A and B are shown apart, each in its own frame.
Chain A
C-alpha cells in the first residue's frame, strides 16, 4: 500500500480556521517525507469529495479536522462527512480525528467499518487562543501549546511510528506543555488555559490496531 495521507480541513469559522492553518505543518512534513497528500481544504471538505478520495486513492492515513459530536464529523459549513449511521469507506485506514467527541461512538463504529485504527477525543476538543492573533493562527504561541502536540499524532505516524507510539508521543508532548503552563514562569493566559489542555490529555483515546504503521 502506498504512503498516502488524506486531509480534511474546512475553514468556515474561527475554530476551523485555526485547525486549517495548523494542519499545513503536517502536510508540509508529509510531503517532505515523500507521502502523497490529498488535501480537501476549505470548501473542498465535502462528503462527496471525501468518499471519492477514500474509494479511489484508498489512503492509509486520514487526518480529519472539523467540528463533530459523538456520531458525526463535519466538513465545510458543518456538512456531515463521516457518520455512525452509515457504512463508511474507511477500510485499512488509520484515522486521526481532531474533532469533538467522535471517539465516543463514531470511532468504534469506524473500526467496525474496517478502519485499522482510530485516534480521537471522547469529549470536546478544547484549545485556548489569543484574540489578537486570530488572523495569524500560526503566530499564536498559546494555541501552539494545544495544536502542535495534536499535529504530532499524524507527524509521528508519517515518520514510521506505530499508532500507539504516535498517540503516546502526542500525549507526552501535551503533558510537557501542560507542565510549562502551570509553572511559575508561565503567563497568566497559559496558566488559566492549562485546565483545557489537561482535559484534552485525558480525552484522547486510541481504538483498533495499536501496532499499525503506514
Chain B
C-alpha cells in the first residue's frame, strides 16, 4: 500500500496506480450523489474527468481515496471507537 500524504511525493508509477484504483472505485459511485470539493460541485462524470486529468481537484480526490483505503486496511478507522 502506498504511504504518502502528498500527491507530489508519489512517483509516476504510483500516480498511475492510484489513478487506476480511483477510477475503478468511482465506477460504483451512485448517480444520485454529487460532491463539493473546493470551488467545484461535481457529479460522477465530472469527478471522473478530474481524476483522468489529474488536476488539483483530481489529486485531492485520489489522495482521499488512498487515505480511506489505507486506513480501512490498517484498522485506523476503528481506532476512535
Partner-B contacts on A (CB < 8 A): 13-15, 18, 67, 69, 78, 100, 123-132, 142, 172, 175, 178-179, 182, 188-189, 192-196, 198-199, 202
Contacts and interface: CB of A to CB of B under 8 A. Distances in A.
B80 A175 contact: yes
Interface of B: 28-30, 32-41, 43, 57, 60, 63-65, 67-68, 71, 77, 80-81
Contacts of B63: 123
Contacts of A182: 77
A13 B80 CA distance: 35
A195 B38 contact: no
A126 B71 contact: no
A127 B35 contact: yes
Contacts, number: 79
B67 A199 contact: yes
A202 B36 contact: no
A189 B33 contact: yes
Given A123-B60, A196-B64, A199-B64, A130 B36 contact: no
Contacts of B34: 128-131
Contact of B33 (A15, A67, A192): A192
Contacts of B36: 14-15, 18, 126-129
B43 A124 contact: no
Contacts of A130: 32-34
Contact of B68 (A124, A175, A198): A198
Contacts of B38: 15, 67, 69, 100, 124-125
Nearest to B31: A131
22 contacts: A13-B39, A14-B41, A67-B38, A123-B60, A125-B38, A126-B37, A126-B60, A126-B64, A127-B35, A127-B36, A128-B35, A130-B33, A131-B33, A131-B34, A131-B43, A132-B32, A172-B80, A179-B81, A189-B33, A192-B28, A199-B64, A202-B67
Contacts of A195: 64-65, 68
